[in-house]
Structure 1
Amino acid sequence: MIRTLQLAASAAALLALAACGDNGGGGSASGARSGIWAAGSSTVFPFATRVAETFARGSGGAAPRVESLGTGGGIQAFCQGVGPTTPDIANASRQMKQSEFDLCAKNGVTDIVEIKIGFDGIVIATARNGNGFNFELNDLYEGLAKEVPGADGQFVANPAKTWNQVNAGLPNQRIQVYGPPPTSGTRDAFLELGMTPGAKLVPAVKAIEGDKDRFEAIAHTLREDGAWIDSGENDNAIVQTLTRTPGSLGVFGYSFLEQNLDTVKAETIDGVAPTADTIASGAYPLSRSLYIYVKKAHIGVIPGLQQFVQEFLSEGAAGKGGYLADRGLIPLPEDQLLAQRATIAAMTPMARPAK
């Protein structure tokens, strides 16, 4: 019965979409819409807006609507159902979680196409005139976790005030890091790629790894005493803060570093600097893939949706020397690029994520 109701709701939503597609591009009093709608990651946002601009020039129509809500916020909106009041695309700086996939399924969004569009790295940056840091991966956990092992092995509130208290090789500088909020895919990726492996290098934390919930709570909970400061879904705002707040560090995507090298610099992790080559190869520890998620139910109903998705991985956009590389996106290797294009052509739905 529940499944029947979901299908009926989806059918009604699709009828609204179809009506939208037949009305010559205008909206209607019923809430139907025309035009493509993508929402999600602040990291993917500049790439999606560039694709939208190019697509609009080629089609002669209005540019698709692109919103920066954070990966989590974009996927939440995407998963609310099928129809004109929900986005066609979720932009993401991490893969969709099992819980998000299940939310989509619960709301009738059952055919989701996952497309990898390229690579990005998460950088830890300072103002260009700031001190230099060569972080070890465990420094991230020991400096930024809310709780760390105390002298007796019990977990205590993080007592470190300066970076040299974490690692004598780091500058004697207060710990003050501006970073993305919990809704951000950049935050999720920083926890998975930086905090988690860093925590595993600390013996007392490694010892509780078997207790998954306890370990994750210890490894993923950032400080709330002012050492870590949530700074919204605007990575450019973090970049600007570094130049106004001497001694601070920022966590954001590599593409924003590329655009602001005149004012900020990236620090190394385990001796590796973030570059296009080290991120694409995975040598830089905080490397990640970027994605868009597409509602197959909206293909053929929202005018131009599949063509817009194809533009993301066109040679002019995603090829070497393409316009997305100019914005800081690190292109996929040729074999991966061809595989993703095949997924778009067939609109092959993704499997349920493992976690």
Structure 2
Amino acid sequence: MKAFLGAAAALGLLALAPSAHAARDYVWAAGSSTVFPFSTRVAENFAKKTGKKSPKVESLGTGGGIKMFCGGMGEGFPDIANASRPMKKSEYEACKAKGVKDIVEIKIGFDGIVIAMDKKSPDYNFKLEHLYLGLAQNALRGGQFVTNPYKTWKDVGSGLPANRILVYGPPPTSGTRDAWVELAIEGGAKKFPTAKALHDSDEKGFKAKVDPMRKDGAWIDAGENDNAIVGTLTKTPGALGVFGFSFLEENANVIKGAAVNGVKPTPQTIANGSYPVSRSLFIYVKKGQVGVTPGLKEFLNEFVSDAATGRGGYLQGRGLIPLPPAQHEAAKATAGKLTLMAAPKG
């Protein structure tokens, strides 16, 4: 009898085990707030077409998403990292250290980082150097780096409005922040010979001086919810916001975008690179989870399909700037063959 009860108890534990450690039966993607609306739309269409569970998509910022993605293999970690910048060498090495070795990098399109304001605000035409001088913690003055002294945009450039400098933007965990610092802040600083010489001789020292954003209230880290920044702009006279182009396009009835170096952000200027603050968007996929996570391969196929990321695809309607045809075909081939990425150089 005791043997029977022992066997029954063991069977009971076995019956409980699957529910305690059930394999995940849905795709999980985490990362960039910019890629989030695109990934969410693909998830909705994937679920409708396949009848499978809708993928879980989280907006954590590129850095947060890649960190979670690189945490390990299996059901406890995302299958996909959404990213609004390329994966860094340090992140790739962190992945490898946790056993995440076979990673597929797929470029899905382009995005521009816009400087937006309420429709009733005056128009701004920034130069890259204005963005650096107005928003970096250390501004160049008389050939020296000093704690940023500028209070209004007119102080920074005579052709700019006299509004106080107040900008809501992405936090340090965001890929948008990384791209913003590289393209706008560093890009603007390099227009000055002193900063350019420092960059060429000591890139680490250049970044230490130039990259930190103001901490005196002129720049405010506004979290990963770009729609919340849009709401703030409509309620705060004179405030500006920094976020991805898709949020400008979605809210074009209440906000507008500034020109940078004389170029307004549009799908055309972002795709051809004439708008200076534009970047590529990516998804990173664990090859080892394909065939393990139900629906992962089909989700990738939907993401790179002509219907989604092709010209005229449904993500273009959401604000994604599509890849040129040859790059789009290359992305489809990478997703189809699950071609592994090379180690990043930096």
TM norm structure 1? 0.91
Task: Give, in whole Å, the separation in 1 of the partners of 2:264 and 2:96.
Answer: 40
Rounded Cα–Cα distance in structure 2 between residues aligned with 1:240 and 1:45: 18
Whole-angstrom CA distance in 2 between matches of 1:277 and 1:154: 38
Give 5+ residue unaligned stretches, structure 1.
Answer: 1-22
Corresponding residue of 2:190 = 200
Percent sequence identity over aligned pairs: 59
1:287 aligns with 2:278: yes
Local SS of the residue matching 1:207: helix
Alignment match of 1:156 (pick from 146, 158, 161): 146
CA contact (8 A) 1:27 1:33 kept: no
Alignment of structure 1 residues 84-103 onto 2, 5 Å: 84-103=75-94
CA deviation string 1:51-107 (max 9, x = no partner): 000000011122100000000000000000111100000000000000000000010
Aligned to 2:65: 74
Report what 1:171 is aligned to. 161
CA contact (8 A) 2:52 2:295 kept: no
Structure 1 CA distance for aligned equivalents of residues 160 and 97 of structure 2: 49
SS in 2 for 1:251: strand
Which deviates more from structure 2 when the two are superposed, residues 313-322 or residues 289-298? 313-322
* SS of equivalent to 2:315: helix
| Corresponding residue of 1:8 | none
Counterpart of 2:252, as a letter, is L
- Asked if structure 2 preserves the Cα contact closer than 8 Å seen for 1:32 and 1:85, the reply is no
Letter in 2 for 1:234: N
* Kept after mapping to 1: 8 A contact 2:25/2:53: no
Structure 2 CA distance for partners of 1:257 and 1:193, relative to 1, 3 Å: same
Could you tell me whether the CA contact under 8 Å between 1:147 and 1:157 is conserved in 2?
A: yes
1:107 corresponding residue in structure 2:
98
Match of 2:125 among 134, 144, 147: 134
Preserved CA contact (<8 Å) 1:89 1:293: yes
Q: How does 1:305-344 map to 2 (within 5 A)?
A: 305-344=296-335
Distance in 2 separating the partners of 1:27 and 1:284: 53
Q: Give the whole-Å Cα distance in 2 for the aligned partners of 1:274 and 1:155.
A: 30
1:32 Cα deviation from its structure 2 partner: 3.0
In structure 2, distance between residues paired with 1:250 and 1:324: 23
1:196 Cα shift?
Answer: 1.0
TM-score under structure 2 length normalisation? 0.93
Contact 2:304 2:335 in 1 (8 A): no
Structure 2 unmatched ranges of 5 or more: 1-14
Question: Cα offset for 1:215?
Answer: 0.3
- The one-letter code sitting in structure 1 at the alignment partner of 2:85 is R
Q: Which amino acid aligns with 1:344?
A: A
Matches of 1:126 and 1:219, distance apart in 2: 25
8 A contact 2:110–2:280 mirrored in 1? yes
Which has the greater radius of gyration?
2
Give the match's secondary structure for 1:323.
coil
In the alignment, the residues of structure 2 paired with residue 284 and residue 269 of structure 1 have an alpha-carbon distance, to the nearest angstrom, of 7
Q: How many residues align?
A: 330
- Displaced runs of 4+ in structure 1, greater than 4 A? none
Q: 2:124 and 2:20 mapped to 1: Cα distance?
A: 57
Cα separation, 1, equivalents of 2:50 and 2:18? 19
**Which amino acid is 1:194 matched to?**
A
Asked whether the equivalents of residues 122 and 287 of structure 1 are also in contact (C-alpha less than 8 Å), the reply is: yes
User: Which amino acid in structure 1 is aligned with residue 91 of structure 2?
Assistant: E
Alpha-carbon separation, structure 2, partners of 1:308 and 1:333: 22
State the one-letter code of the partner of 1:274. Answer: P
Question: Offset of 1:154 from its aligned partner?
Answer: 3.0
Which residue number corresponds to residue 120 of structure 1? 111
